[in-house]
Amino acid sequence: MCRLLGWVAGEGLSLRDLLGEESFVAFAQLSRIHADGWGVAYAAGDTLAVERSTTNASADPAFAAVATDVTTRAGLAHLRWASPGLPVELCNAHPFQFGQTAFAHNGGIYPLDRVDELVPEGWRARLTGTTDSERYFLAVMAEMAATGDPLPTALPRVLRRITEQFTPSSLNAIFLAPEALYVVNCHDDSIRPDLSPRDGQSVDDMVEATEEEVPYYDLRYRQTASSVVVASSGFAQPEGGGWQRMENNSLLVVDRAGLEVTQIPLDVRIGRSEAADSVGADLR
């Protein structure tokens, strides 16, 4: 299980300035549960920079430094709570990178022992870790390379393959590409993750971080004249503050040049099944 945040701005902003102090602190505090590492990808001139860690973001001075000192016009941030069976190692930390595209995922694709099948054999040497998320990402990159199609055209084919051949809980994800920020909202909204404490986590942490009674997999976005922000649930995102709920089974496209926002329906559905019940809350 993870928390996702992506943004595009008309001028360089730090993550702290983009969210405002109260919302930034609330987002960072989600790492008290999602404590298995953090990662940030951001546009650095004409290149893509990625910084990752296996440390709790709220306790890591490096996260505070990136969020405060790095100014950028586009980025994404990820707080990880590792699925059981997937080790907390730097190679498994999000975002993953291929060329000038970064990717982060919140959800699970089961069974884990088959997820290599998502990646064409010629691409498997590019894998660096053991997560289903990295395989989901490379499956999309491989589909784009094989067909020459842009991401909004190639992505639905991969999503359909996953839903037909595997049992995903959620395919919610953010792609930060040179031309746009792409946000996938595709999940089984009947699943509520088990947010009970794991080893080393206190009940107080869990209660405080789950006070926001919003469905766990919901994604919302806030569009202003100067920026667009998309975020997972868990901190206050009031409609009165300009936040709008993304439709499930949709792709949000945020143009990096002009900040235009387009929401595209996805002809993909993740439904409840016995297999999904069996994996329950073991979600990334």
CA geometry: angle 169, 112, 173, nearest 5 deg: 45
Displacement of CA 109 from its chain's centroid (Å): 14
224 Cβ contact partners less than 8 Å away, ≥ 6 residues apart: 242
Spatial separation of the C-alpha atoms in residues 231 and 220, rounded to whole Å: 6
What is the predicted pLDDT for the residue at 235? 95
Query: DSSP label at 38?
Result: E
| Helix 151-165 vs helix 132-147: crossing angle, to nearest 10 | 130
Q: What structural domains does the chain harbor? A: 2-279 (3.60.20.10)
252 Cβ contact partners less than 8 Å away, ≥ 6 residues apart: 182, 183, 185, 219, 221, 230, 246, 261, 262, 263, 264
Place of tokens 């987002």: 27
- Order across the sheet with 227-232: list the strands: 47-53, 38-44, 72-80, 2-13, 227-232, 219-223, 243-245
Place of tokens 């997972």: 232
Query: DSSP label at 216?
Result: T
Token pair for 6 = 């992506």
**Which region holds residue 43: left if phi is over 0, alpha if psi is between -120 and 50, else beta?**
beta
What is the predicted pLDDT for the residue at 139? 98
Q: What is the mean pLDDT of each run of 10 residues along the chain (284 residues)?
A: 95 97 96 95 96 96 98 98 90 98 96 96 97 98 98 98 96 98 94 64 47 78 98 95 96 98 95 46 41
Of 28, 32, 133, nearest to 81 by C-alpha is 32
What is the predicted pLDDT for the residue at 283? 42
What is the predicted pLDDT for the residue at 215? 87
Asked if 271 contacts 157 with a C-beta cutoff of 8 angstroms, the reply is: no
- Order across the sheet with 96-98: list the strands: 96-98, 101-106, 172-176, 180-185, 250-255, 261-265
Spatial separation of the C-alpha atoms in residues 142 and 147, rounded to whole Å: 9
